Amino acid sequence: MTKAGPGFSTLAIHAGAQPDPTTGARATPIYQTTSFVFNDADHAAALFGLQQFGNIYTRIMNPTQAVLEERIAALEGGTAALAVASGHAAQLLVFHTIMRPGDNFVAARQLYGGSVNQFGQAFQSFDWQVRWADCADPESFAKEIDGRTKAIFIESLANPGGIFVDIAAVAEVARRHGLPLIVDNTMATPYLVRPLEHGADIVVHSLTKFIGGHGNSMGGILVDGGTFDWSRSGKYPLLSKPRPEYGGIVLHQAFGNFAFAVAARVLGLRDFGPAISPMNAFLIQTGVETLPLRMQRHCDNAHAVAKWLAAQEKVSWVRYAGLDGDPNHALQQRYSPKGAGAVFTFGLKDGYEAGKRFVEALEMFSHLANIGDTRSLVIHPASTTHRQLTLEQQVSAGAGPDVVRLSIGIEDVEDIIADLDQALAKV
């Protein structure tokens, strides 16, 4: 270990984990239990009153989950984390912690289609309103802010278009208006981008994707950056006002720079219940150990594939920030010099029908609604993940009718290109 502390790869393997104190097991055990025995009545009371940390019930916390949380918090440079059942669950708990009925938040319109739908449709049931801005224009966020605005939300690397966002510029807008900046870092992972270093206050992930990395487990996580003053404005009462269910504790006063993660756990996860299973926490935690190796291979393969596609006659355009001529290349070099990620889009000259035929002709690629697997994956967003959006929304999100999205795996790159080549020949 260096004087500066352990490096990224070391943290990916060791952060949060110790040999099991009872058995000496080196791998973190799967604590497949619903609940945990109290030492005595006083111990139970202290746990329920937030006067002592410990395990009560797996819906709220679990030792396997705790290792995963500490590891991701360490990789992102945060103060604490909360792992839950999915990325959507993580977003729900983030906004539940800061929003009240009638409030709004400003989000980049260049988002994963599921997030667009969650924000624009499902959140209306809570009377939470979303206002859309352009991630390429930081000042467009400022234009949508009013007295009921509670946060700004962006992706570090937008899905599906592979657009790097100027996080620092959007963070400056958030600071100017006294708002927290929430960044979905799923596509980049902390191996490529650490949003907290660029002004973000909260980071969310779908752990299902690159962090788990093997397409075998569902999970999500929120990471508390410990940087936002939840008491200053009085706009965040769950954190700044006494909580009657916990004896009048003011969470921000009691827990300081990790109060947000605590609030999301004891006021959101406790009551909504989207708990991650111990088995999924274990599988994702194991995936984290190879994250730096996998992400570099993903990036190297994707760059080679993008260059090859750009030279093909039937391809009208390729949008990959790692290419020298890409309009997003300068931001990629600034924020993610190790690589431009594994997911990118391209367009076929014959449009919508050609995209569908191309997807069906692929043999090694898996046609499914996921990214971040060790395997190469493909989807035609306009007919699948973004189908619920209008044509205008699809185009704004980088998922127009001609768009094909690839998630490049870690296979031999020659085999990946060969499969693309034979499929193009059939279009």
What CATH code is carried by the domain that includes residue 384?
3.90.1150.10
- pLDDT reading at 398 higher than 80: no
**pLDDT above 70 covers what percent of the chain?**
99
DSSP codes of every residue in 28-68: PP----SB---SSHHHHHHHHTTSS----BTTT--HHHHHH
389 within some domain: yes
* Structure confidence at residue 394 as a pLDDT band (50, 70, 90): confident
Tell me: do 273 and 338 sit in the same domain: no
In a 3-state reduction of DSSP, which class is residue 125? helix
Question: Residue 343 pairs with which residues in a beta bridge?
Answer: 407
Could you tell me if 176 and 143 are in contact, meaning their C-beta atoms sit under 8 angstroms apart?
Answer: no
1 within some domain: no
Tell me: do 327 and 387 sit in the same domain: yes
Tell me: do 399 and 264 sit in the same domain: no
* The pLDDT value given to residue 356: 86
- Domain termination site, one of 252, 287, 322: 287
Tell me: do 206 and 304 sit in the same domain: no
The 10s digit of each residue's pLDDT in 231-272 is 999 999 999 999 999 999 999 999 999 999 999 999 999 999
Q: Which is more confidently placed, 134 or 159?
A: 134
2 within some domain: no
- Strand order of the β-sheet with 315-319 is 315-319, 343-348, 403-407, 377-379, 366-367
CATH number of the domain encompassing residue 46: 3.40.640.10
Q: In angstroms, what is the C-alpha Rg of the chain? A: 22
Helices first, then strands: H and E counts in the chain: 18, 14
223 within some domain: yes
Tell me: do 271 and 364 sit in the same domain: no
Structural domain that includes position 322: 291-425
Q: What are phi and psi of 237, to 5 degrees?
A: -65, -25
- pLDDT reading at 2 higher than 70: no
Tell me: do 274 and 332 sit in the same domain: no
> Nearest-CA neighbor of 79 among 200, 243, 178, 160?
200
Verdict on whether the full-model pTM lies above 0.85: yes
Tell me: do 211 and 82 sit in the same domain: yes
* The pLDDT value given to residue 43: 96
Could you tell me if 49 and 73 are in contact, meaning their C-beta atoms sit under 8 angstroms apart?
Answer: no
The 10s digit of each residue's pLDDT in 206-238 is 999 999 999 999 999 999 999 999 999 999 999
At 52, list the tokens.
């002592």
Tell me: do 189 and 252 sit in the same domain: yes
- Strand order of the β-sheet with 129-133 is 80-84, 220-224, 202-206, 181-184, 149-155, 104-108, 129-133
What's the total number of domains in the chain? 2
300 within some domain: yes
Tell me: do 140 and 244 sit in the same domain: yes
Tell me: do 281 and 295 sit in the same domain: no
Tell me: do 196 and 301 sit in the same domain: no
In Å, what is the CA distance from 192 to each residue of 154, 211, 335, 336? Answer: 16, 12, 8, 5
Tell me: do 196 and 75 sit in the same domain: yes
The 10s digit of each residue's pLDDT in 338-372 is 999 999 999 999 888 888 899 999 999 999 989 99
How far apart (Å, rounded) are the C-alpha atoms in residues 114 and 125? 16
- pLDDT reading at 304 higher than 90: yes
Each residue of 373-389: b (16+ CB within 10 Å) or e?
A: bbbbbbbbbbebbbeeb
Mean pLDDT rounded to a whole number for the chain: 95
- Domain termination site, one of 263, 287, 311: 287
In Å, what is the CA distance from 212 to each residue of 207, 208, 241? Answer: 6, 6, 37
Average pLDDT on 147-174 reads: 94
- pLDDT reading at 389 higher than 80: no
Residue 126, Cβ neighbours under 10 Å: how many? 15
3 within some domain: no
- Domain termination site, one of 287, 307, 340: 287
| Helix, strand, coil content of the chain in percent (nearest 5) | 40, 15, 45
